[in-house]
Copies of this chain bind each other. A is one copy, B any other.
Amino acid sequence: MPGAGQGAAARPQRPESPEEPLAREDLLLAAAYVSDAQYNRNVPFETSPQAIRLYYFYNHWTMQAITYFFICIDLSLALFEEPALFPLPFLATSIAEVLCLTAFFGRLVHFAKVTPQRVFWKDTKNICVMLTIALTLIDLIIYGSLETVNIHSVRWSRALRPVFLINFPESRQIRRAFRSIRNTLPDILYVFLLFMFSVLIFSLMALKLFGDRGLKTVEGSPYFTNILEIAFELYVLVTTANSPDVMMPAYDFNWWYSLYFITYIIINTYIFMSVFLAVVYNNYRKHLKNEIRKLAYLKRHKMTEAFNILKVKMDTEFVVKEAPWRQLVKVVAPDISSSHLELLLRICDEGQKGYMDKTNFLRLADLLNIQVVTINVKTHPLETWLPRVYQSAASLLIQKMVRHRIFVWVYDVIILINAIFIALDEKNPLISYAEWLFLSLYIVEILLKLYTYEPRAYFGRKQFWNWFDTLIIMAALVAMVANATIQSARKYNSQQILDIVLILRILRLLRVIVSIQRFRVIVTTLINIGPTMLTFGGLVLVVYYVFAIIGMEVFHGKVLFFDPNFTAPGALVCGNPALEDSIFAQSRYCRNNFNDLASSFIVLVELTVVNHFTLLANGFALVTHQVAKLYFIGFHIVVVILIVNIFIAFILEAFFVAYSLEKSEVETAIEKKIQELGVGVQEEEVQDGKLIDNVDTKDCGFSGDDGDNKRKSLKGLYFRIASKKYRTVDALLQRMFESEIAPEDEGPSLDEILNFSPSDIYPKNPNFENSA
């Protein structure tokens, strides 16, 4: 591999002699490499210790939090600017904006300090941010000066605000999604052109077939007489939004014309939309693989760099000694517990020789990535305080009862009965009392569980459902008590509190899911992909924000909403005479407007869902010019064809990975080692509170064990490995790919890695297994 020698040769200034003491800078540099590899960052930096400290500071969570805070402020400014949800004077919002810009600029300067100049200026991210800052300032100045002479202009730079969200180094995931979209564009463009061609051909046919028939739509307007309108209607038919309506006049006229529409729907709605999904999904997979391959090789590369810095010559091979290794780990992970450190050392330095070879050293980043929770196997507090009572026959019976499967079933039945009670009328006082009964039953359940299981284990970090249970019930208790107090004192129900009580009460029903094994697999997969779904949240936010700003500029004030109880003139036509007799007004859609950011977002959600797309589009087309339809088609192409398809592709991929893992566990060497040492506890055992039983049993057997040195020193300490179930798709794919790289393989050189193209990884000889 060309990269191997090159990586070492790139830094000839590093001490190669094994006898030279380890310099503080070298340690820091190695630590920077390791922590970089650990989090898969990719920030080249200067090698002076000060630069490294600056770099650490740059990556500190407080700095990131501050940046995000300013991004939030900047984005939410749209709530206060005209058209505003909460109006503020222009001066206030502009000062806030300038503050944000300053913060962004400061962050950029900080980034420039920790990055080599050449790299900094090559990075389009930074250029983008600088340009946006400059443009926003220019726009602010122009708008402000025009405003002082009372000329109202357009604050166009507001649509650029999401650039800050996308381009700051922390939003890697959102950028990746955008990159994926950008890469998909050329492929999708051809399908899109073909699709548009097909729509046009069908439009022409429709014009010729129906144009001269003198048919009328339900609203009485002429049917299919203008080629552009036909093209729009047929485009909308692809979204299915005007499905039978657009066909009805022709169908009423002649039975056979329905075949035209059915052909159109099969070709354009079903086949073309599936082809879009296929193209998007194919590209998504391709680029996901490429990115992950890049990350895996980068990690290997960085760990090799770190090894080259710390290595000393021992006999024939280069190794890293225990002392620098310990220092390194302490720098990289300052808050690591000493027992955890011991564990890692045991894994890396298996023979306890006081040094480790390259293969073992390279594992460090992975080892630090594995979430290891040290569990102190402790006895139940009650057992310590009142051993006699806790170990009495009655107490043991209770514990046995609670641990029994039937206990879970009984509570499932109780929850279902509760569901029926909730569905019944609440006005009945008996049912109202029953609610108190159910609540007390749930509290008894939690208390019993706490009595049986060790409380600290019960509320462990990963015990999602225990936390969920307790929080829901506590909150319900608090809310019900608060409501009862207010009710008895003031004789009226607080609507907000009641709403909260109701929702909490119903959420409790979710617990039934946990009892059924088959449901749990689906739910766990969904929870696992939750974090990545937030990426899509960011992506959607960016696109929505841009469209909302444009929409507000174009449509604000055109459609007004009046309170239904308030009989203002024009309330029935949404305050716009153009909407008279329109279906938009008749369907009482007045609240679907672009008069503030929140309303705009809701309209955009409705457009994403696609149904009644025409109704909305036609409504807004009536109050502005027909050109407004372009806005709606543009939105459909970007959000529905691109983003929703990427979202579907992502969920498909996540489930395929989850399915293939269900059948065959991918256990890496690292986990096996932890298992070998006998100090690992599988996540599965932790669920249902089985953990404590298990640990107890093991603890009992410990003294009678073979007195293994390793085990003894770790007695009373267990390590929980982050379960296979709690992994993101990325992590899973990355591990799959890593297990394919041989330990000796240092991969291609850094430049090669950074320039990986997705087409490289296409298998040259696809075989049956990987093709399907």
Report whether A647 and B270 are in contact in the complex, using a CB–CB cutoff of 8 Å: yes
Contact of A244 among B269, B513, B612 (CB under 8 A): B612
Contact of A502 among B208, B503, B737 (CB under 8 A): B208
Contacts of A506 in B (CB 8 A): 201, 204-205, 208
CA distance A740 to B770 in the complex (A): 12
Which one of A59-67, A377-385, A653-661 is at the B interface? A653-661
With known contacts A270-B647, A647-B274, A767-B740, A248–B591 Cβ distance under 8 A:
yes
Residue from B201, B240, B609, B648 within 8 A of A274 (CB atoms): B648
Which of A22-30, A458-466, A757-765 lies on the face that meets chain B? A757-765
Query: Using a CB-CB cutoff of 8 Å, which residues 714-760 of chain A contact chain B?
Result: 733, 736-737, 739-740, 759
> Is the Cβ of B765 less than 8 Å from the Cβ of A209?
no
Q: Could you tell me if A243 and B588 are in contact, using CB atoms closer than 8 angstroms? A: no
A sample of 23 inter-chain contacts (CB < 8 A) reads A191-B522, A204-B509, A205-B506, A208-B502, A208-B503, A208-B506, A209-B499, A209-B503, A218-B586, A227-B423, A243-B606, A248-B589, A258-B602, A265-B605, A278-B651, A288-B772, A611-B611, A657-B772, A660-B766, A733-B771, A736-B768, A739-B767, A763-B769
How many copies of this chain? 2
Given contact pairs A190-B519, A270-B644, A510 touches B201 in the complex (Cβ within 8 A): yes
Mark out the residues of chain A between 234 and 252 whose CB falls within 8 Å of any chain B CB in the assembled complex.
Answer: 240-245, 248, 251-252
Q: Which residue in B197, B270, B644 is a CB contact (below 8 Å) of A513?
A: B197
Known contacts A194-B519, A208-B506, A285-B772; can you find 7 more A-B pairs with CB under 8 A? A209-B503, A244-B606, A288-B772, A289-B772, A663-B759, A664-B765, A769-B770
**Are B651 and A274 in contact (CB-based, < 8 A)?**
yes
Q: When the two chains form their complex, are residues B656 and A282 in contact, meaning their CB atoms are under 8 A apart?
A: yes
Kindly state whether residue A397 has any CB partner on chain B within 8 Å.
no
Complex alpha-carbon distance, A505 and B204, angstroms: 10
A610 at the interface (CB under 8 A from B): yes
Across-interface contacts of A510 in B (CB, < 8 A): 201
**Complex interface: chain B residues within 8 A of A310 (CB):** none
- Contacting B at CB under 8 A, from A73-106, are none
A443 sits at the interface (CB 8 A)? no
Q: Give the A interface residue count (CB, 8 A).
A: 108
Is A193 an interface position by the 8 A CB rule? yes
A380 to B663, CA, bound (A): 63
Rounded to whole Å, the gap between the CB of A753 and the closest CB of chain B is 16
Looking at the complex, which one of B193, B664, B733 makes contact with A772 (CB distance below 8 Å)?
B733
Q: Report which of B208, B251, B659 forms a contact with A422, defined as CB distance below 8 A.
A: B208
Contact present for B278 and A652 (CB under 8 Å): yes
Which residues of chain A from 22 to 62 have any CB-CB distance to chain B below 8 Å in the complex?
Answer: none
In this assembly, does A368 line the interface, its C-beta being within 8 Å of a C-beta of chain B? no
Partner-B contacts on A (CB < 8 A): 190-191, 193-194, 197, 201, 204-205, 207-209, 218, 227, 240-245, 248, 251-252, 255, 258, 262, 265, 269-271, 274-275, 277-279, 281-282, 285, 288-289, 419, 422-423, 426, 499, 502-503, 505-507, 509-510, 512-513, 518-519, 522-523, 526, 561, 564, 586-589, 591-592, 598, 602, 605-606, 609-612, 616, 644, 647-648, 651-657, 659-661, 663-664, 666, 733, 736-737, 739-740, 759, 762-772
Quick one: closest B residue to A732, CB to CB?
Answer: B771
The 4 closest A-B pairs by CB, nearest first: A243-B611, A278-B655, A770-B770, A274-B651
Question: Which residues of B lie under 8 Å from residue A739 when comparing CB positions?
Answer: 767-768
A216: nearest residue on chain B (CB-CB)? Answer: B564
Chain B's nearest CB lies how many Å from the CB of A420?
10
Q: Which residues of B contact A763 (CB under 8 A)?
A: 660, 664, 769
Query: B655 touching A275 by the CB < 8 A rule?
Result: yes
Q: Give chain B residues whose Cβ lies under 8 Å from the Cβ of A513.
A: 194, 197
